[in-house]
Structure formats: C-alpha cells, structure tokens
Chain A
Amino acid sequence: MSTTVDHAHDHAHGHDHAHDHPHGLQRWLFATNHKDIGTLYLWFSFIMLLSGGVLALMIRTELFQPGLQFFQPEFFNQLTTMHGLVMVFGAIMPAFVGFANWMIPLQVGASDMAFARMNNFSFWLLPPAALLLAGSFFVPGGATAAGWTLYAPLSTQMGPGMDMGIFAMHIMGASSIMGSINIIVTILNMRAPGMTLMKMPMFCWTWLITAYLLIAVMPVLAGAITMTLTDRHFGTSFFNAAGGGDPVMYQHIFWFFGHPEVYIMILPAFGIVSQIIPAFARKPLFGYASMVYATASIAILSFIVWAHHMFTTGMPVTSQLFFMYATMLIAIPTGVKVFNWIATMWKGSMTFETPMLFSVGFLFVFTMGGFTGLILAVTPIDIQLQDTYYVVAHFHYVLVAGSLFALFAGFYYWGPKWTGFMYNETMGKIHFWASLITFNITFFPMHFLGLAGMPRRYADYPAQFTDFNSIASIGAFGFGLCQVFFLFFVVLPSIRGGKPAADKPWEGAEGLEWTVPSPAPFHTFEEPPIVK
C-alpha cells in the first residue's frame, strides 16, 4: 500500500497508480520529497553564492587601485547592495534550509517534512525573488543602491529597482516563514518514538531555535520595507521628519530584524559543527545540555542588542550603555559553545578528513570574527570603527569563515549520504587549505584598513589605503577560484561517481541518518524507527 496520493499525475495523465519515483523535470518542479527539495535548495544557494561572488569580485576589481577604473560610483553602490542581499538572502539562508530539508527528517526519523507541498512552495518562491533581484539591474536607474540595510531616506530616492528589491524580499520572507514553520513542526511533531527533545541531534536543536528566530523577525523586516514602499509611493511619512516620522526609526525596525538575522545565519552552522566534531573526535559532544541552553541564550539575547549597529546615530547615553552591555553578554554563551567543542576534542581520537578540517577551520577563524564583534560592541571603539572596513572584516569572518565554512564542512560530512559516493579526499583537502589561506589574504587586511579609517561602501579611496586593498583584491580572486575548484573538482565528480559510500562512512558518526543506505533512498522512515 502506497502512502502517497498523486494529484498532479491524476490531472496530467489520468493514471491512477502512484509513482514512487517521479522522473524528469516534473520530479524537480512538482517535488514534494524533502530530499529533492533539499537538493533544489542547495543548488539554488550555490548558484547564488557564485552570483554574489561575481558581484564581490567586481567590487574587488574596482577597489584594486584608487581612482575609478571600471564602474561609475552609482553602479558600484548597486554592486555592494546586491552582493549583500544576494549572499544573505540568496546564498547563506537557503543553503541552511537545504541542509535542514535533507537532514532533519533523517535525523529525527520522520518520513518527510511536515508539509511537503508547502515545503516545495517555500523553495519555488526563491527563484522568482532571485529573478526580481537580477531583473532590477536592468530597469531605469538600475538595482537598488541603498546598501543591503536599505536605510531610509536613501532608499526613498531609489528607482523602480528598489521596489523590485522590496517585493523580492517580501517573497523571500514568506518563503523563510513557511520554511521555518515546516521545520519547527517537523521537529516538534514528527520525531520518532523515543527521541526526546534532549536526545535530538544538535543540528536539529539549532535549527529549531533558528526557525523560531526567523518566524519572529522576518515579519518585522516585511513591516519595515512595507513602510519604505508606502513612503516611496503612497505619501506616508514613517521615515520623513517633515511629516513627524524618523529615518532612525527605520534603523530600529530593520536591526530588530537584522541582528537576530545574523544569528539565523550562524546557529545552524554551530549545529553542523556540533555534529562533525564529535564524529571525528570519536567522543560524544561535551556538554550537550549546556550547548542547548547556550544556543537558546544566544537567541534570546539577540533580541535586545540591535542598536549596537546604531551607536553613531546619536542615542541617549543610557541606551548606548544598555546595548553595549547586552551585546557583550553574547560572548558568554558563544564562549560556552567554543569551549564545549574544544572539550569534545580533548582526549579524543581525532582524524582530520575534510569535514573535520573545515570544522576546525571554522572554530579558529570564526572566533577571530567573534572577537572583532566583541571589540565592536564596545561603544567608544565602535564609534571609531562603525561603517569602516573593520566592520566588513568582522562580518566576513563570521559569515564566510563562519557560516560558509560550516556549510562546506556539512557538505563533506553528509554529501556521501546524498550522492552515495565519497568525494575525493585530496581535492577536499586542497579546497580547505586554499580557501583558508585565500580567505585570510582577502579579509585580514581589511581590519587594518578599517582601523586606519577607510569607510565602507566606497567606490574610491584615499591613496594611503592602496596596498591593503590590492592584497584583498588578489585574495578575493583566489578565494573565488577555490570555489570554482570546489564545483568542478569536488561537487560534480562526487555526484557522477567515485568510491561508493558506506551507510556510515565515518567511524565516529552517530545518528539515525547513518542507519539508512547511501545514497539515502527516495523514501526513508515511512514507518518510524524506535529510538532507545
């Protein structure tokens, strides 16, 4: 007896037998299988990573030397803005949702995501949003150039590209909310019998909390950009002092979303790393319970720190102090996580296959980004560094070496389960070391630039900043090449073939996902496993 009903098929062909394995284009267009949808998400986000990367490389090309060589400043601002938007909303967030789709049902022993059709809808909202964003480059005035933060009233000055951006973000917001509801419900309602919350893999825990954050803050972003839209076209005065509104109000609403957003991009990364380190240390995760509490603390604190992005807007001294203290507190639960990971490695029996390399790389370099974050949290220092390249360095350390490295780690770790083939270990190691080195060549000099006072979002800069900028540009091309290498020498070969992967290719790995064959069959856990 099949448990699927195939309406699309009914309508299309009038057949009445259900196919277990839809084929061809329809398999992807009409997908309701969490693994297929996960794959769609992963490919989409990888394409967006390359697109956002190309925009970044254009930025770095212009900044290789002082002067204006390649792009007019107004176009440069479009590049910066779209790079930020594409990376945040197109690359990093969907990539984590892709992981969630693939792994959460496998990890909790569910047959699929709770709402399979809505799951596909969440995905199929993304390409339209991407098209709107890409298309906005070609309308009069070009894409929005107000920075990814879309500060009013600069955003009210923009052309139609801004509206397309706003609508694209509405759609992506809807996608995130539906995706998050799906993830929460899957985790809360579909765990296999015996899998209590406190037995759940860390990746599920971090996603549960992330999904909660998403549902809480995406609607707030929607509210902010809706106000921008009505200010632009319908004569409201939310962000216009002449009507009694306030541009700074936009920033408050935006960052109420924006700060939790950055943890949305890091908590699932913490989850992935928390799976990998115990596997390769061959030792259980140290302090599981405290990891859960730390994750929750980070999420809760993330709601009361937003104005650390706004220290230079001029707020009362009490607010500055409050937001400084609250922000600095986040170092504590994050520290607990770092210490727990290291305690997990301590006295383990470690091996260093690529997933572990990327995890250790993550730990090392993310922490540097965490420390620069902490330095930025100190109000007087932030006032010196706000809107300089120091901030750019900080967030690329946490986003590229943090989120992106964790995603790579996750790919190497779970990829064999997805494709059924082992990736080529040598190629993986080359990818890791080359990425780590070129990453630091790109972004480390930016700390110095920022300390010396180079502002961000600058199409041209005082000539004193030339050398570090040139180094960063060279590094960026190197880092870009590493990712092309990743595509052609790691991803594609491991899809096409290679050494067949065992059900459990990692000696120390634990979890239900390793109890099913590699590649994971189309349907898994149709009857839930019993967890002891």
Chain B
Amino acid sequence: MSSHNAAPYYFVPGPSRWPMLGGLSLLITMIGASAWVNDASWGSTVNFIGIACTLTVLYFWFGDAIKESEGGMYSKRIDHSYRWSMGWFIFSEVMFFGAFFGALFYARTITLPWLGDLDHKFIWPDFVAQWGNSPAGTIEPYTSMGPFPIPTINTALLLTSGLTLTIAHHALVAGKRAKTIVWLAATVLLGAVFMGFQAYEYIHAYHELNLKLTSGIYGSTFFMLTGFHGFHVTMGAIMLGVVLVRLMKGHFTPEHHFAFEGAAWYWHFVDVVWLGLYVVVYWM
C-alpha cells in the first residue's frame, strides 16, 4: 500500500462498489416513490428501503474518502479539486432555487395581472388581481404569512449561526480544537432551533391560518420555497454534524480541513437563500 507520508501527485481511488450500489439504491428509492405517489400500498416501504440503502452507501463511501484523507493520500491538488467542485455544486443549488424564485416572480408579476385583466373577465368575472387570491374562488380563505415574529427570529438565528461558524473556523485555523468544537456545536444547535421554529410555523400555518400547500399559487410557492430551504438547512446541519464528530475524533489540521470549509460554504449559501426568502416571501 501507499506510503503515508508523501501524498501521490493526484490520488485516484481504486475500484469501488459504492457508486454502483448507490445507483441501485436510487433505483429502489425512485420505484418506491413512483408507487407511493400513486397510492400503491407497498410504495412507501420500498421508498424507505431505497433511502436507507442510499444513506448506507453514502456512509461507507464517505468513510472511504475520510480514510484516504486521514491516510494522507490527498495532496494540495486534490484539495483544490474539492474546492472547485463544492463551488460548482453550490452554483447548481443556486439555479435550483432560482427555478422556484423565478416561479414566484412570474406568478406574481406576470400571471396575476394577466388573470385580472379585462379580457380574462370572460373566464374569471369576479377575480381581483391581488396576490394570494384564486381566480376561481376554489381555494379556502387563508391568511398569508408575515415576517413577524418567527421569520424574523429565524433570520436572526441563521445570521448568528453564520457568525458562530466563522468563529469556529478561526479557532480551527488557530489550532484550538476545543474552541472549534464548542462554536461548531453552537452552530448546529442554532440550525436545529431554526428548524424547530420552522416546524412550528408550518403547524401554525396549517391550523390557525388555514394556509396549506393547496392554498393556490401562494401556498405552492410559500411551502415549496421554505420547504426546500428547510431541507437544505437540515442537510447543512447534518454535514456540520459529521464535521463535528470528525473534529471530536481528532480529524483535520489547521492547514487541511476542507470538509469543514465545504460544509461552511454550504451553510453560508443556505443562509443567503434564507435572506432572499425573508425579503421576497415574507416581506413583499
């Protein structure tokens, strides 16, 4: 096996079963999902099995990568590769959110006045072009979601978490492991509290505001945007959590800790998306 003190010029892993098994797991997941959304009784079970398999595969796969990293196989050049790749991955996520932000923009500034114009009186005689209305009156009345208090609290939480994360990073670069762990843990915790508030907000929306996923285009864009954001917060928190565990196990050095930085970039990205949401979903 390779020596542990000199990293190869560019480390290329040998054959690995994980990618192929990952593909298979996703196949199971998707078969299950297709069946589930069409109300087949076995759909959810198969879907969960698929997800469990996928997560297992990822666990072993990342395990291999971590072993290689800690085994000193990753040269500077690989570190660069990871940096580039994380950047581009985040760009792809930006575009994904872009689709939903675009839908919100289009529905509000193009569809809404259109449906309310004179010609459309043919079809929707009583429609008033006001955001959150349905032309057909097919949607049960609901109250839309304002910025106070939860979204504002959540904004504060996420901004603070960005701060704590930066403190943790500085501590890591300064070689202060204990301090890093504390601040990183605080970050994850803030993320968890954020998710708690978010869950509370959803319950509130459903039970008190009668605001649901089915509440027309307002409900659609509201829940899909905040929902996908919440999902990304969860992913980010899991990534930070893994980094936290690795820190406690003694992984990373002040010079070599891209896993930390990658997760941090992701976290900041999720943060920025939230600021966008906060403005266009809650305020406007």
**Interface of A with B (CB < 8 Å)?**
1-9, 11, 16, 18-19, 22, 26-27, 29-32, 110-112, 114-118, 120-121, 123-125, 127-128, 131-132, 135, 159-160, 163-164, 167-168, 170-171, 177, 180-182, 184-185, 188-190, 215-220, 222-224, 226-227, 229-238, 241-246, 249, 252-253, 256, 526-528
| Inter-subunit contact A1/B12 (CB<8 Å) | no
Interchain Cβ contacts under 8 Å between A and B, 14 examples? A3-B2, A3-B9, A4-B12, A125-B23, A132-B34, A171-B26, A224-B99, A237-B134, A237-B217, A238-B103, A238-B220, A242-B136, A245-B111, A249-B107
| Inter-subunit contact A215/B14 (CB<8 Å) | no
**Number of inter-chain CB pairs below 8 Å:** 261
Q: Which of B22, B68, B96, B138 contacts A5 (CB 8 A)?
A: B68
Most buried by A among B88, B92, B115: B92
**Nearest CB of B to A334, in Å:** 25
By a CB distance below 8 angstroms, the chain B residues around A123 are 19
Q: Which of A2, A9, A220 contacts B2 (CB 8 A)?
A: A2
Q: How far is the CA of A229 from the CA of B213 in the complex (A)?
A: 13
Q: Would A241 and B115 be within 8 Å (CB), given that A32-B13, A124-B22, A236-B224 are in contact?
A: yes
Q: Would A117 and B13 be within 8 Å (CB), given that A29-B20, A242-B134, A253-B103 are in contact?
A: yes
Q: Would A121 and B106 be within 8 Å (CB), given that A1-B2, A188-B84, A190-B77 are in contact?
A: no
Known: A223-B103, A226-B224; 7 extra A-B contacts, CB below 8 A, are: A117-B16, A124-B22, A216-B95, A217-B95, A218-B95, A233-B37, A242-B138
| Inter-subunit contact A124/B220 (CB<8 Å) | no
By a CB distance below 8 angstroms, the chain A residues around B223 are 236
Most buried by A among B71, B217, B223: B217
Q: How far is the CA of A459 from the CA of B7 in the complex (A)?
A: 62
Does B51 have its Cβ within 8 Å of any Cβ on chain A?
no
Digit string of B19-37 for contact with A (CB within 8 Å is 1, else 0)? 1101110110011011101
Residues 78-117 of B contacting A (Cβ, < 8 Å): 80-81, 84-85, 88-89, 91-93, 95-96, 98-100, 102-103, 106-107, 110-112, 114-115
Q: How far is the CA of A219 from the CA of B96 in the complex (A)?
A: 5
| Inter-subunit contact B30/A6 (CB<8 Å) | no
**Interface of B with A (CB < 8 Å)?**
1-3, 8-20, 22-24, 26-27, 30-31, 33-35, 37-38, 61, 64, 67-68, 71, 73, 77, 80-81, 84-85, 88-89, 91-93, 95-96, 98-100, 102-103, 106-107, 110-112, 114-115, 123, 132-136, 138-139, 212-214, 216-221, 223-224
| Inter-subunit contact A120/B37 (CB<8 Å) | no
Q: How far is the CA of A222 from the CA of B104 in the complex (A)?
A: 16
By a CB distance below 8 angstroms, the chain A residues around B111 are 244-246, 249
Q: Which of B24, B38, B91, B96 contacts A222 (CB 8 A)?
A: B96
By a CB distance below 8 angstroms, the chain B residues around A189 are 77, 80-81, 84
By a CB distance below 8 angstroms, the chain A residues around B138 are 242-243
Q: How far is the CA of A11 from the CA of B213 in the complex (A)?
A: 46
Q: Which residue of A lies closest to B31 (CB)?
A: A132
By a CB distance below 8 angstroms, the chain A residues around B33 are 163, 167
| Inter-subunit contact A111/B10 (CB<8 Å) | yes
Most buried by B among A27, A30, A117: A117
